Chain A
Amino acid sequence: MGRTLYDKLWDSHVVHVEDDGTALLYIDRHLVHEVTSPQAYEGLKLAGRKPWRPDSVIATADHNTPTTGWERGIAGIEDPVSRLQVETLDANIREFGARAYFPFLDARQGIVHVIGPENGATLPGMTVVCGDSHTSTHGAFACLAFGIGTSEVEHVLATQCLVARKMKNMRVTVEGELSPGVSAKDVILAVIGRIGAAGGTGCAIEFAGSTIRALSMEGRMTICNMAIEAGARAGLVAVDETTISYLRGRPFAPTGADWDAAVAYWRTLVSDPDARFDREVTLDARAIAPQVTWGTSPEMVVSVEDRVPEPDRERDPVRREGMARALAYMGLAPGTPIQSIRVDKVFIGSCTNSRIEDLRAAAAVVAGRRVAKNVRLAMVVPGSGQVKAQAEREGLDRIFREAGFEWRQPGCSMCLAMNADRLEPGERCGSTSNRNFEGRQGAGGRTHLVSPAMAAAAAIAGHFVDVRDWR
């Protein structure tokens, strides 16, 4: 019987299997950032162990780093606890080594899930891990990529392996052409709305179908990024010409004869036609409208032309309770039209939507317009130094600035608000990030997840609008 892409990736990395199916999986690429690594390096030190293969490590500081004040150097990180974490990573990489390190202030620094792919450090057929749940992003390159905890970070550093159990195979097929103004972000939000925040638990989700094939690598990364929000530790997209042409010429991508051999291998990284999936879900792309979340879980999502749902109509008591609690937290009345919801802040950034294509989509909406008066802060945080430089070459920074947006230095920023960028209690934000959990963007802050174009339009209008009617 045929194998799925996930089966192939799994099979090619198994070093050893126990009788109960627990396997030792070989890890090709280990991405490291400052928040989930200090305790792992400390553990290594305490046990007197050395990293197995330092040249598999790519490291950067992204979660804590400020998006302003870079001219002040490391002193620009005002919070001493954050600074210590960034300095600890510097010291650990100095002591233990890495294939590449893009520290704070480096021209290639950025969000770990943006810099891996853009440098060609994420390649098809690899296993990629990182102490970060959105490692699923890299699965867009047909590699097996998933987030791990700090104990596992230490385990991978020490052994180059991970103790893992095989997941189930799930396929989400999206067919048809997307309407103008509807993007990859809307697709994945619609998928999560359909299958739920636990819909992919225990599975690797392969995204397939003509809609996915038509997406750029940036769009596919957006989709795989949020596989974890559907409960799936890994997302996957098969290799095709789009994958290969994206990788050609990237700094860490193979060259010369290596390139040809690699491409020949990469072309095998697709699910066999007769492969069987444990679960299949199909969506019609034409039915997907721009999406807006209204609650505190990414599954609490509706189309922009809809209204905030009414808990009273929900029969399941646990769900009803959850909806009522989410609405109370979000400060929303049941039945409110989505387009009447006003925003206080707009955040365009995060590993979901901070790549060049995202910034272009947002800039196209913003060009020649002004941020609405009721919007206190509209900010664009590019995913990396390279994205930022590219956007500046294209003049996107000017478009944003002239409209009244702040143009910031790269990093995670207000996606999780570990640095100074955050929502104040009660503030409402249109955000291109991936989590609308309570307090995610700042204690008491209210997050609505949307696409870059939708976030940009909300900044201009002051409330959510349907970008399909825009222009």
Chain B
Amino acid sequence: MEKFTVLDGLVAPLDRANVDTDAIIPKQFLKSIKRTGYGDNCFDAWRYLDVGEPGKDNSKRPLNPEFVLNQPRYRGASILLARKNFGCGSSREHAPWALLEYGFRCVIAPSFGDIFYTNCLKNGLLPVVLGEAEVEGLFRDCFAQPGFRLVVDLPAQTVATADRAKVFRFEIAPTPKYMLVNGLDEIGLTLRHADKIRAFEARRRAELPWLFR
């Protein structure tokens, strides 16, 4: 996993609530057995005017000029500003894979779908929860100021405007934070506890043997 420490990035605003993982990456792209190749189909149904299919040459497809991420001013954005319950719906990890490949390293929203939130953490995409009023303010700033950037500092757990006129603190549990900051492999970390797992399993097998038949 790629490390995440401090990100100074252009912000793109996605002004709708309950954006689900079907919208982030539609199901026809889930048939791949790989972890890559999803970026060009991120938000496919909103981003293009035609219907996307695997194998289509995306560079030749008509873009939807109305879709916010297609506006030139948000090209190269690495921070996605979103509304509540972002990433609700299916467990597909293809959603964070697609967002990362698109170029996002951070999503800021008042709340996230639980599974999506976890999936982000495992892939180096930082989900930041801020208060509804704070997010509302950032949306206003983002619309009003072309080139609006934010600095997301994971070690300090802050989101700040470039001039530091606004500095918001966000919460994240220490364990995932440690993994993100150091870019660590979670399975390797867990296997340090292999003896404990084996002991737990042996106890469980003795107490509830039918679970192991």
Contact = CB atoms under 8 A, between A and B. Distances in A.
B91 A149 contact: yes
Given A38-B33, A125-B208, A416-B27, A160 B89 contact: no
A268 to B, nearest CB: 12
A131 B91 contact: yes
A319 interface: yes
Nearest to B187: A158
A390 interface: no
A133 B175 contact: no
A16 B83 contact: no
Nearest to A20: B174
Nearest to B31: A81
Contact of B115 (A21, A155, A233): A233
B174 A19 contact: yes
Given A198-B85, A231-B85, A22 B113 contact: no
Contacts of A16: 193, 196
Interface in A15-61: 15-16, 18-22, 24, 26, 28, 35-36, 38-39, 42, 47, 49, 52-53, 55
Contacts of B18: 197-198, 297, 299, 322
A197 B88 contact: yes
Contact of A15 (B123, B174, B200): B200
B89 A261 contact: no
Tell me the dominant secondary structure on chain A's binding face.
Answer: loop
A262 interface: yes
A443 B115 contact: no
Interface in A92-107: none
Contacts of B175: 18, 20, 22, 163
Contacts of B31: 35, 64, 79, 81-82, 84-85, 418
Interface string B161-177: 00000000000011110
B20 interface: yes
Given A149-B93, A437-B20, A254 B210 contact: yes
B93 A49 contact: no
A339 interface: no
A4 B199 CA distance: 26
B33 A42 contact: yes
A82 B55 CA distance: 13
Contacts of A265: 208
A233 B114 contact: yes
20 contacts: A22-B174, A22-B176, A35-B31, A125-B211, A131-B91, A147-B115, A149-B92, A149-B93, A152-B122, A154-B187, A155-B187, A159-B190, A161-B193, A258-B209, A258-B210, A299-B18, A418-B28, A418-B30, A435-B89, A438-B23
Interface of B: 15-18, 20, 22-23, 26-28, 30-35, 45, 51-52, 54-55, 83-85, 88-93, 96, 111-115, 118-119, 122-123, 173-176, 186-187, 190-191, 193-194, 196-197, 200-201, 204, 208-213
